[in-house]
Amino acid sequence: MTAAPTGAKEHELVGAILSRKYPLKRVIGSGGMGTVFESTSPDDGRAVAVKILGADYRDDADVKRRFLDEGRTCQRLIHPNIVRVFDVAEAEDGTPYIVMELLDGVPLSAYTRSGVRVPLGQAATILHGILAGLGAAHAQGIVHRDLKPENVVLSREEAGSFTAKILDFGIAKVMDAAGGMGSKTRTGVLLGTPAYMSPEQIKNAKDVDARSDLWSAGVLLYEMLTGRVAFPAPTEYARLSAVLNSTPQPLENVDPQLARLSAFVQLAMQKDRAHRYQSALEMARALAGAMGTDSVAVGPSPLSQLPNIPSVWMPMTAATAVASTPTAPATVAAQAPKPIVPAEVTKGPGGTLASPAGRAVIDPTPHVAVAAQGTLPSENLPMLSAPGSAGARRGVPVLTVVLLVIGALVAGFLLGLATARLR
């Protein structure tokens, strides 16, 4: 790949061939730190995602080095609940890139940003998968440091089930080099994701270990179960204070049926990490106990189907692939949601996503492409699920409708004929 001209947009690289083996087919995500393209593997032709460091950072030796180092570290993370990294290299012009698994699925943020609730059993299954992935990473000394709904994707497997997969291990360290993750940037702006940062990370971004990820996992579960943020605040700066000084409303106060997980969540979000779960395995065992199961499964924990997203329902036979985008660290100022329009989804009024029923939907996760999104749950609208999965609601077959119509016409004709004879 030849060097892009100064100021050229990464979108202009579509059609180029990276390192003479990765054709850049289309942009599937972009952010301040770079762009993600769809490509194909030269080995087996499978679809892959190629994450390219943004032009603004390519001359920063520290950012470039850390981007490559963290990518190579992630190559060691081979686990069903972690997005796979296949290749890490530099293009002919020295541009660093990472080749990773391309996912067909929905980001967890499509649910947590909806303001409604994920069913208890499904939320526990999703968290179990997250903890399994975290446990594998922590065993190798790798801490995520930026676990949030945008970095978890419910990915459809070949069998039709869905597995929680964690994105962007290591990207937080790249963000540090680029200006800070929970630290001061060159312009003095505090960066990070306050809603999911542990108290110790807020106080000192360098003093973070595996237990910080477990805090974030607890926050994710709280939001899935309650449909509300754990630490409500009018601004992101105020949220930092809320994380340090307030306690989320107990689950049983939100819904008495959630009481079985109340103690589990409270322990997961203890301010003092010494009083928190000390490992992902310990937390997973506690979750299994709270849910009334005897043991923790060793393998991946799949969902038979996705939770409801009734505000927009799109069959996933042509689902948009999901890939993480290396976005720049978000400032603590709240960002307005930006719509992402996959190729097969039409635009509605104002450029928002349009559902088949014509309802406009704003994507709450600007740096993740999604196949379907919206709010949960509704008994009056179809369940979003893989074709053929148990529990999927199906419409009346077309053939049945045709036969009913023909039958009605024949009956009407015969009735008219009989009436004529009587006259």
Catalytic residue ranges: 146
Cα separation, 268 vs 315, whole angstroms: 36
Block residue for tokens 């301010």: 271
Expressed in percent and rounded to 5, the helix, strand and coil fractions of the chain are 35, 15, 50
132 within 8 A of 79, measured Cβ to Cβ: yes
Structure tokens at 283: 């937390």
Coil/strand/helix, residue 332: coil
Coil/strand/helix, residue 375: coil
- Gyration radius of the chain's alpha carbons: 24
Cα separation, 150 vs 377, whole angstroms: 20
Pairing state of beta strands 26-31 and 103-107?
unpaired
Residues with Cβ < 8 Å from 56, sequence gap 6 or more? 32
Cα separation, 326 vs 29, whole angstroms: 9
Return the biggest CA–CA distance within the chain. 97
Q: Which of 182, 40, 37 is nearest to 97 (CA)?
A: 37
Q: Any idea what the Cα angle at residue 53 is, between residues 64 and 362, rounded to 5°?
A: 140
Q: Which of 253, 185, 246 is nearest to 219 (CA)?
A: 246
Structure tokens at 200: 């110790």
Sign for the CA dihedral angle at 155, 157, 161, 165 comes to negative
